[in-house]
Chain A
């Protein structure tokens, strides 16, 4: 084969590899979802953030309107301080509330924003005051057992083995 032909083939090979890289990063990974539109950041404090992670989605009515940018522990209140970036085109009233929700039974956790009714909108740096923590399964089961025990009334919880009083 001529030298020119080999060089062309090598060039094609490198181009093919680069096309694969572009495909992997844009179509099959999250580079394409990084929006170039600038957003505004708001924060919220949660008693328990559950399984929320940086880059978890922020949704309102199920529509993704932003991403969690960082999660830290507020050393004064001992609450989780979640910073999130919201899309500039979406404005929420100042008294909107934020909940940590789970998509599906075992899915990822995300922040759900429920719009309030105030005239003024959230601006950059604002704090969402009304928050609802993630549901922790152990606490839920604990509450369920307590309410069951309260229904049972006098049954001493400590001395009852499994299925003791039915």
Chain B
């Protein structure tokens, strides 16, 4: 009997936390139009989230492009199909690796800083002070960060893919000696703008919403202690990463199941 009660309590607890997060998300969306009116705040957040993540995104894109091109070359040279190198690198970056790896890096680089910042605001009772002054912390603190994240994420994913493809070009054409014309033309004949590039951008947009909302929620609901903030920051990375990977499978199944 006790076990049944425990199970029931667990279930209710999980449902309650889901409902709590959903209500938080809806209130966040509701606060978004008000934040758009104070666009200066959004610009500052895009700088903090997007511009400052640029270096790690571009560096990782370069590394992934170089490595993919080198490894695929060793596999493809057996079949005399080295011209398809560009196609393989392009499709894997634009469809999967670009959005997913950029989102994971984003969760690690920007998500954690959002959580820690808002968590410390809460620990320092700045959020309570804002409420005292009748300023809605959702539209003043959370919504600009949310918009900044959602705008930055697709741009970062696009740059990740573009840099990766350029680096694959450097390896394939300049180092290995694949014909440059074939490298680009096979890519152009097989990669579709809407199906491949467009769906990749839709993916990164969804990941941007997920990662930013998780980071903001964890920061806003943190326990107002040093351990609480540390724990919330860790959870931001874990939950965002798992959500991105899971959602990526769902989106891939929806988008590319027929192609």
Interface residues in chain A, defined as those with a beta carbon under 8 Å from any beta carbon in chain B: 3, 6-7, 9-10, 13-14, 16-18, 20-21, 23-25, 27-33, 55, 57, 106, 108
Contacts and interface: CB of A to CB of B under 8 A. Distances in A.
Given A30-B188, A30-B189, A24 B94 contact: yes
B90 A28 contact: yes
Interface of B: 40, 43-44, 46-47, 50-51, 54, 79, 86, 90, 94, 152, 154-156, 158-159, 161-163, 165, 184, 187-193, 196-197, 201
B88 to A, nearest CB: 12
- Provide the main secondary structure of the chain B interface: helix
15 contacts: A6-B47, A10-B43, A10-B47, A14-B46, A17-B158, A17-B159, A20-B162, A23-B162, A24-B94, A25-B193, A27-B188, A28-B184, A28-B197, A29-B188, A31-B193
Contacts of B162: 20, 23-24, 28
B165 A33 contact: no
Given A32-B188, A33-B189, A10 B159 contact: no
Contacts of B90: 28-29
Contacts of B43: 6-7, 10
Contact of B54 (A7, A13, A57): A13
Contacts of B191: 28-30
Contacts of A31: 193
Contacts of B158: 17, 20-21, 24
Given A16-B159, A24-B161, A28-B90, A10 B193 contact: no
A74 to B, nearest CB: 23
Nearest to A33: B188
A-B CB proximity, top 7 nearest: A17-B155, A20-B162, A29-B191, A20-B158, A31-B193, A29-B193, A20-B159
**Max chain B CB contacts within 10 Å: which of A20, A32, A57?**
A20
Contacts of B86: 28
Contacts of A108: 189
Given A10-B50, A17-B155, A21-B158, 10 more contacts: A10-B47, A13-B51, A13-B155, A14-B155, A20-B158, A28-B184, A29-B193, A30-B192, A30-B193, A108-B189
Contact of A9 (B47, B94, B154, B163): B47
A23 B165 CA distance: 10
- Provide the main secondary structure of the chain A interface: helix
A103 to B, nearest CB: 10
Nearest to B50: A13
A9 B51 contact: yes
Given A13-B51, A20-B159, A23-B162, A29 B196 contact: yes
**Max chain B CB contacts within 10 Å: which of A25, A32, A106?**
A25
A9 to B, nearest CB: 5
Given A23-B162, A24-B162, A29-B193, A13 B46 contact: yes
B156 to A, nearest CB: 8
Nearest to A67: B189
B83 to A, nearest CB: 10
A33 B144 CA distance: 39
